[in-house]
Structure formats: C-alpha cells, structure tokens
Amino acid sequence: MVRDPARDAAASLREVVLPLSFVAHDDARAAAWAFHVLAPRGRLHLLAIADPETLARGHPAIADAIELDEIDESALSGLGQPEMAGLIGAVQRHAAEKDLGCRISIRVGDAVETVTEFANALDNCVLVTVCPRNENAPAYSRAHALIRQSRHPVLVSGKSAEGGD
C-alpha cells in the first residue's frame, strides 16, 4: 500500500518498521521481508508490542504480568515468550551480520496506535507486517488498521488458507 507516489521510494527503504505481536505466528515471515526490502546501511526499527487487550483474550497470565509502560527484552522469556525473545535475538544478529542498524523497543499498549504513533513520527519509512487471508482473524483487522492509519507505505505479507503466498 503506497500512500504518495511522489515520495522518494529509496528514502522510505532506509528505515523499516517491523511490529511484532505477542500472539502472531508469522512474525518471522515479516522479519524476512523487512530484511529483504531494507536498503544497504539502513535501519530496522523492531517494535515488540504487548497489547493488553489482545493478551487478555489469549494469554491472561501474561496480560496480568505486564503492567509497565515498557518492559525489557530479558523479561520476555520469563513471561513465557521465549519464541519472541529468540526472534528478537535472531533479528539483532542478522542485522549485525549485514551491517544494518537495528533499534529494538518493547512496548505495552494498543498495537495499532503504538506502531502508527512511532512510524508516523519518522520522516520516511516502510512498515512491514503480516496479514492472514482469514477476515475473522484479529491480525487481519490489525493489518488493515495499520494500512489506514499509517502515513507511510505498508508492505503486507500474507498466506492463503492453503498455505501458499
């Protein structure tokens, strides 16, 4: 989804925002796309978002444990989120190997509001997110809300019900 065709596409690819969710299952797929489109010597902004409302529905124990405005990466394993902690570590290593900047922030709040507030404060960037084809999935609604609320281009990676692209 490209907002403004007059925008300098190369400038947008120097900053990529990758939101990660505590409940998404295709975050690694989005991370692969983020690295694929990120310009050489660009910077990846990885936002791990703990959305209390979403967590309360699927992971009430984690939702109860998260009461701070921001938590650190080491706390993720203690919250029963070793997969997210592992993905964050893998993203950091890959960024270092490719000589890319990598800023990691773990935040608590509404996923869409937190991501769009962060991204919209940047001059140029591309958001990379996943979106299932199932219109009833919460990640479907979040991806479409990001598209609507972002002032920047959004790259959406999705899978069909059959598992293909």
Whether 130 is covered by a domain: the verdict is yes
Which amino acid is it at 159?
K
Whether 1 is covered by a domain: the verdict is no
Whether 163 is covered by a domain: the verdict is no
Q: Look at residue 137 in the predicted model and tell me its pLDDT.
A: 83
What's the token pair of residue 55? 């967590």
Domain with 122 in it: 9-157
Instruction: CATH number of the domain at 151, please.
Output: 3.40.50.620
Q: What is the pLDDT of residues 97-122, one digit of tens each?
A: 999 999 988 777 788 999 999 999 99
Calculate the alpha carbon distances from 126 to 110, 111, 153, 156 in Å.
Answer: 20, 17, 5, 10
Under DSSP, is residue 21 helix (H, G, I), strand (E, B) or coil? strand
Q: Domain count for the chain, please give it.
A: 1
Q: What is the mean pLDDT of the chain?
A: 77
As a whole number, mean pLDDT of residues 9-14 equals 82
- pLDDT(162) > 60: no
